[in-house]
């Protein structure tokens, strides 16, 4: 598909594509950032459609694609999609729970050109892992998957979403990563979108838990001294500092959802008036350079309130639009995570509030979520 795009005033091109191949998943993690309304399998792009998206991505200058979900291994045609990404000149990373990865499948994927794997783990202890994942034996599957990936000689990263029920196990999680031979451990404090927002009361840690975990990470970084890359994704509810979400809206990467919806970030489907484009209807170049959805919060011109005149606005881009919407009902407001936001009390109260007994998880399953209440609309 070719649509006219003027090079004049075009934004810098993206370098990464998050390809959400399916929302189907054998795990049911309560912190999942996928939308509450999960895309149906019948609505998914075909392998041919993904091949076209990936070809366009390569031509557009994108260099890296994360093949994600849900669980991308549930796509029988994943090998074709990996091969198409390779043909397009993209570096491919499989983002997986490890469930369903056996030697033959990994051989097929590496044969198709897969370059690296990121494996999720929920806890260092198998029973706790399986409780959080909502699936028995999932820890054993991860352990097997890690061994297979290392034996295949692929770079392996571990991704751990941190929350109240595993922050006290950070030391053990780092030990686990070292024992599994990983190159990188991403310790990502839960971002409260989608199912994570729905389960926030169950997942929100205490400030003391975070302080202990932060100290542990600093100590282990010094001990591991570059052998394993330890990444700490900040808990923005607690720090008073807005995160530079996605490196800026429409700045460095884009997401394509299973049904072809193109989004500036994985959670942007939650913004009710965004009207995101679809790769079935438009070229990636048009989507990036011309679509109103990608231009909506790009740069700094749209900013109002404290961001409009803030010296940090080119560094954190006013924080996260999806979080601003989720907490205030207005995606254009300053992210309440920022201490300068007039809405900061919304997150401070949550961060400093006493913890009562955690409610049970609402596990991520199609149809399991109640209809979300409308977000609170902030006063102007
Ligand atoms: Fe960032 Fe806006 Fe806060 Fe300034 S006011 S630090 S730009 S979120
Ligand atoms: Fe959407 Fe931050 S998650 S802008």
* Tokens, residue 18: 């998050």
pLDDT of residue 373: 52
To the question of domain 16-245 being in CATH 3.20.20.70, the answer is: yes
Whether the CA torsion 77, 83, 86, 87 is positive or negative: it is negative
Structural contact between residues 362 and 30, judged by C-beta atoms closer than 8 angstroms: yes
Gyration radius (Cα) of the chain, Å? 20
pLDDT of residue 372: 56
Query: How many angstroms does the Cα of residue 263 sit away from the middle of ligand 2?
Result: 10
Give the C-alpha separation, 350 to 342, whole Å: 15
pLDDT of residue 178: 97
Is the beta carbon of 57 within 6 A of some atom in ligand 2?
Answer: no
CA-242 nearest atom, ligand 1:
8
CA max distance for the chain: 58
> Which ligand does the CA of 196 lie closest to?
2
Q: Among 194, 246, 326, name the best residue to mutate to test ligand 2's pocket (greatest count of ligand atoms within 8 A of Cβ).
A: 246
Q: Among 303, 327, 339, 340, name the best residue to mutate to test ligand 1's pocket (greatest count of ligand atoms within 8 A of Cβ).
A: 340
Give the C-alpha separation, 333 to 336, whole Å: 8
CA-303 nearest atom, ligand 1:
2
Would you state the torsion angle of the CA atoms of residues 132, 133, 135, 140, taken in this order, to the nearest 10 degrees? -100
pLDDT of residue 9: 58
Annotated binding site: 25, 29, 32
pLDDT of residue 203: 96
Is the beta carbon of 245 within 6 A of some atom in ligand 2?
Answer: yes
> Which ligand does the CA of 274 lie closest to?
2
Query: How many angstroms does the Cα of residue 340 sit away from the middle of ligand 1?
Result: 7
Query: How many angstroms does the Cα of residue 315 sit away from the middle of ligand 1?
Result: 9
Give the C-alpha separation, 82 to 92, whole Å: 7
Per-domain residue ranges of the chain: 16-245
The low-confidence residues of the chain, meaning pLDDT below 50, are: 1-2, 4-8, 374-380
pLDDT of residue 371: 55
């Amino acid at each position: 598909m070719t649509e006219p795009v003027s090079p004049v005033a075009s934004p810098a091109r993206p370098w990464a594509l998050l390809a959400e191949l399916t929302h189907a998943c054998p795990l049911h993690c309560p912190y999942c950032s996928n939308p509450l309304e999960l895309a149906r399998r019948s609505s998914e792009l075909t392998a041919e459609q993904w091949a076209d998206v990936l070809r366009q991505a390569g031509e557009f200058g994108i260099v890296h694609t994360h093949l994600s979900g849900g669980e991308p291994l549930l796509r029988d045609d994943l090998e074709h999609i990996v091969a198409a990404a390779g043909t397009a000149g993209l570096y491919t990373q499989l983002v997986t729970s490890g469930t369903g990865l056996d030697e033959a499948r990994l051989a097929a994927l590496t044969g198709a050109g897969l370059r690296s794997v990121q494996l999720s783990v929920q806890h260092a202890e198998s029973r706790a892992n399986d409780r959080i994942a909502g699936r028995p034996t999932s820890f054993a599957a991860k352990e097997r998957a890690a061994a297979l990936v290392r034996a295949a000689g692929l770079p392996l990263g571990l991704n751990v979403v941190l929350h109240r029920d595993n922050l006290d196990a950070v030391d053990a999680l780092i030990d686990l990563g070292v024992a599994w031979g990983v190159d990188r451990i991403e310790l990502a404090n839960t971002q409260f979108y989608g199912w994570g927002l729905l389960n926030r009361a169950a997942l929100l840690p205490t400030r003391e838990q975070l302080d202990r975990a932060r100290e542990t990470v600093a100590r282990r970084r010094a001990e591991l001294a570059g052998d394993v890359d330890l990444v700490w994704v900040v808990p923005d509810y607690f720090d008073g500092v807005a995160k530079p979400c996605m490196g800026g809206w429409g700045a460095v990467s884009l997401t394509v959802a299973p049904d072809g919806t193109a989004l500036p970030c994985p959670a942007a489907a939650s913004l009710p008036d965004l009207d995101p484009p679809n790769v079935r209807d438009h070229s990636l170049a048009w989507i990036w350079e011309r679509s109103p959805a990608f231009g909506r919060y790009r740069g700094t011109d749209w900013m109002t309130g404290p961001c409009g005149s803030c010296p940090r606005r080119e560094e954190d881009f006013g924080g996260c639009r999806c979080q601003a919407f989720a907490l205030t009902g207005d995606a254009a407001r300053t992210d309440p995570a920022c201490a300068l936001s007039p809405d900061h009390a919304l997150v401070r109260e949550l961060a400093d509030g006493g913890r009562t007994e955690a409610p049970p998880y609402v596990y991520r399953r199609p149809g399991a979520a109640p209809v979300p209440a409308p977000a609170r609309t902030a006063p102007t």
